[in-house]
Amino acid sequence: MFAINHAAAALVLKRRYPTVRMVFILLAVQAVELLWVALNLVGVETTTTDPIVRSVQNIHLVHMPWSHSIGTTVVFAFVAWGLIRFGIGKPKTAMAVALGFASHLLLDLATHGADIAIAPGLGTQKLGAGFYGSLPVAAFLIELAFGIICWRIYRGSVGLLLAIIAFNVVNLSMFLPQWVGIEAKLAGQTTTLTLVIFAQIVVTLAVVGWLSRSREGTCYDTGRGSTVSTAGLRDSTMSS
C-alpha cells in the first residue's frame, strides 16, 4: 500500500486510542517502510525494476525479509509493545504502536504481489494478494477507498479528506501503464526510487499529522490510567 494510506491507517488507531500522541502512531505505521528504505540504501534488501517502468507492475520487491516479513513484524511489534508497556509504563501507547507495526504488513499483504516472506530464511514461499501485478486499477480503488474510510472513522476535517484523495490521485500513473508519470524516469534507478518513496513517507506523515490536529479534545496517555485533555491544557495555560 502506498505511503498516504499507511499514514491514513494512523487515523483509525488514533480514533481507537485518543490518549496516545499522534506522532507515535504515525511513526509506528511507517516504521516497517522506513526500515525498508534504510536496508535498501545499504544493500541488505533488494528492489529491482524492468528496463521500462510504466506502473507498479514494473517494480519488483525482490528481497525484503527483514523489513517486510510476518516473522520480523511480529517480533518488532512485540518488542515495541514490551519496551513501551514495561519500560516507560504507557500501556495504551504500547498497544497503539504495536498495532501500527502490524497494520503496515497487513495492508501490504492486501495489495502487494507475492513478495512478503514468512520469515528471514524462509524465502521459498512468499505472500501477497497480487493486486499490484494483476489488477492495478482495482488496487488503486482499494487504496483510495481505504484512505477515505480511515478519514471517515476518524471524523477528520475536509482538508484532511482532500489531502488523502490528492495524494492517491498523484499516484494514479503508478496504476495505469498508459499514463506516464515520474515512474518512467526510475527504470534501473533503484536508489532514486528508494529516496522518492522515502520522501513520500515523510511528506504524507507530516501532512496527515498536521491536518489531523484540527480535532478538539485530543488527550495523551499519561501511563497512570488517566488522561489529559489538550483543550483543558489550553484553558489552564490561558488562565495562568
Q: What is the pTM of this model?
A: 0.89
Whole-number pLDDT of residue 150: 98
62 lies in a domain? yes
Question: Residue 45 is placed in which grid cell?
Answer: 534488501
Which pLDDT tens digit goes with each residue over 3-21? 999 999 999 999 999 999 9
Higher pLDDT, 240 or 156: 156
Whole-number pLDDT of residue 187: 93
The distance between the two most distant Cα atoms of the chain, rounded to a whole number of Å, is 64
188 lies in a domain? yes
- Show the domain range for 35: 3-233
Number of domains in the chain: 1
238 lies in a domain? no
180 lies in a domain? yes
240 lies in a domain? no
Confidence band, pLDDT 50/70/90 cuts, at residue 180:
confident
Cβ atoms of residues 96 and 22 within 8 Å: no
pLDDT at 230 over 50: no
Average pLDDT over residues 153-171: 97
Residue carrying C-alpha cell 499483504: 109
77 lies in a domain? yes
239 lies in a domain? no
Which pLDDT tens digit goes with each residue over 114-126? 999 999 988 678 9
pLDDT at 220 over 80: no
**Considering only 10-14, 143-147, 234-238, which range has the smallest mean pLDDT?**
234-238
